[in-house]
Amino acid sequence: MANDIHWILDDASLAEHCAAWQALPFVALDTEFMRVDTFYPIAGLLQVSGGDGAYLIDPLRISDWRPFAALLEAPGVVKVLHSCSEDLEVFLRLTGSLPAPLFDTQLAAGYLNLGFSMGYSRLVQALLDIELPKGETRSDWLQRPLSELQVRYAAEDVSHLVEVYRALMARLAPQKVEWILEDGAELVANLGREVVPEDAWRDAKLAWKLSRQQQAVLRALCAWREREARARNQPRNRILREHSLWPLARTQPDNLVALARIEDMHPKTVRQDGETLLQLIREAAALPPEQWPEALPEPLPIEASALLKKLRAVGQREGERLDIVPELMLRKKTLEALLKSGYPNGPYQLPDSLRGWRRELMGQALLDCLAAEGESA
């Protein structure tokens, strides 16, 4: 294995290899990074393989990422990764680009009904009958020099990924390959759409339970937290803890003593940002009603769960027919959005989140299921 490891330690060497990789049908990619107390991941190592050994790129030595960005965007080269959402963040942060077309081997395992959300070690074991060492996953990838174990672990990971891809491709029908690439494109599109800080409040727990005036305060707090996390490069919870957001918006404290009593409020937050938070709350609380956000819809009532189950069964039946794990068929959020469009009496509308092959194969069946339910009610 040691002879098959090639280091890329400068811009010229990276440009040369990226040009060569652009001629390949696919490249396997992996990253090692640190993200203990930062908002953004810090790249410690990038691994590439086209089947002729492992190329290890030291990101601490590279300053010009344009050739690598061009490789990521090359339409003729499939980029193969496993469970890649965090890797995508590393690429975006380093190069400003995202891989396309993207083939995620974890997704592919689901499309072959091997298992849902399969870990890489399990997939390598299942397809290649190789047991991977687990020791280095959590080690320090920013230290230099990297240990011999770290180097071997990183190189083997990407080399095996090539073999995993080949084994999967040998078993996948062309139709399913198309669907995997479609899902990959959606993953990339979602990550490429940066969350607008002013919209961050919509994902806050129990936000729908607040009044519109309280939601205006929550919106201001979440937007500030999001912007500060990015500006300071610190995790969101280091800026202001998740569990403090809702009680802050609901009770709207107006002094530091009341602020310090808020559930899960860190004393350091009160010391460092207490006055800022009080001002944010004051200003947002004083907004006129026309500047409050539109109220969030309430969750579906408990009685809707039986109907949700019937809709899920549409996906399960189709999954059995296609030999795809049921979890990949219809997302819960999509089914909830469909129900919310017309519950309880209809008419219902297919949500935008149901698209591509899923909409084509199951859209009408879902509407038929709801129509049949309406007739029998």
Distance CA 337, CA 272 (A): 40
**Assigned domain for 153 exists:** yes
Distance CA 24, CA 16 (A): 14
Residue 183 is a catalytic residue: no
Residue 157 is a catalytic residue: yes
Residue 16 is a catalytic residue: no
Which of 104, 156, 157, 273 is catalytic? The answer is: 157
| Per-residue confidence (pLDDT) for residue 376, from 0 to 100 | 60
3-state secondary structure at position 301: coil
Distance CA 200, CA 218 (A): 9
| Per-residue confidence (pLDDT) for residue 137, from 0 to 100 | 64
The amino acid at residue 263 is E
Statement to judge: residues 60 and 133 lie in one domain: yes
3-state secondary structure at position 234: coil
Cβ pair 82, 106 in contact under 8 A? yes
Statement to judge: residues 45 and 153 lie in one domain: yes
Residue position matching structure tokens 């090539």: 162
Statement to judge: residues 188 and 287 lie in one domain: no
- Residue 329: CB partners within 8 Å, gap ≥ 6? 315, 316, 318, 319, 358, 362
Statement to judge: residues 170 and 93 lie in one domain: yes
Distance CA 205, CA 311 (A): 25
Q: What is the mean pLDDT of residues 79-95?
A: 96
**Assigned domain for 296 exists:** no
Cα Rg for the chain, rounded, in angstroms?
24
Residue ranges making up the domain that contains 183: 2-192
Statement to judge: residues 324 and 283 lie in one domain: no
| Per-residue confidence (pLDDT) for residue 105, from 0 to 100 | 98
Statement to judge: residues 173 and 248 lie in one domain: no
Statement to judge: residues 240 and 159 lie in one domain: no
Statement to judge: residues 38 and 165 lie in one domain: yes
Q: Is the pLDDT of residue 135 over 80?
A: no
Instruction: Render pLDDT for 155-196 as a digit per residue (tens, 0 to 9).
Output: 999 999 999 999 999 999 999 999 999 999 999 999 888 889
Helix 242-251 vs helix 267-285: angle between axes, to the nearest 10 degrees? 40
Residue 104 is a catalytic residue: no
**Assigned domain for 223 exists:** yes
Please list the alpha-helical segments (H only) found in the chain: 11-21, 66-73, 85-95, 105-111, 120-128, 148-171, 174-192, 212-232, 236-239, 242-251, 256-260, 267-285, 305-322, 332-340, 356-376
Beta strands 42-49 and 102-104 are unpaired
Statement to judge: residues 46 and 167 lie in one domain: yes
Statement to judge: residues 126 and 203 lie in one domain: no
State the total domains in the chain. 3
Cβ pair 300, 340 in contact under 8 A? yes
Last-in-domain residue among 147, 164, 192: 192
Statement to judge: residues 188 and 135 lie in one domain: yes
Instruction: Render pLDDT for 10-27 as a digit per residue (tens, 0 to 9).
Output: 999 999 999 999 999 999
pTM for this structure? 0.93
The CATH number of whichever domain residue 87 belongs to comes to 3.30.420.10
DSSP 6-62: EEE-SHHHHHHHHHHHTTSSEEEEEEEEE-SS-SS-EEEEEEEESSSSEEEE-TTS-
Which of 30, 136, 156, 336 is catalytic? The answer is: 30
Cβ pair 250, 262 in contact under 8 A? no
Task: Order across the sheet with 102-104: list the strands.
Answer: 5-8, 54-57, 42-49, 26-34, 78-81, 102-104
pLDDT band at residue 6 under the 50/70/90 scheme: very high
| Per-residue confidence (pLDDT) for residue 192, from 0 to 100 | 82
Distance CA 108, CA 114 (A): 9
Residue 30 is a catalytic residue: yes
The CATH number of whichever domain residue 342 belongs to comes to 1.10.150.80
Distance CA 40, CA 35 (A): 7
Last-in-domain residue among 237, 266, 291: 291
Instruction: Render pLDDT for 344-362 as a digit per residue (tens, 0 to 9).
Output: 888 999 999 999 999 999 9
Distance CA 173, CA 155 (A): 29
Statement to judge: residues 147 and 276 lie in one domain: no
Last-in-domain residue among 192, 210, 232: 192
Which of 55, 87, 136, 228 is catalytic? The answer is: 87
Which of 32, 89, 136, 226 is catalytic? The answer is: 32
**Assigned domain for 113 exists:** yes
pLDDT band at residue 83 under the 50/70/90 scheme: very high
Which of 55, 111, 120, 153 is catalytic? The answer is: 153
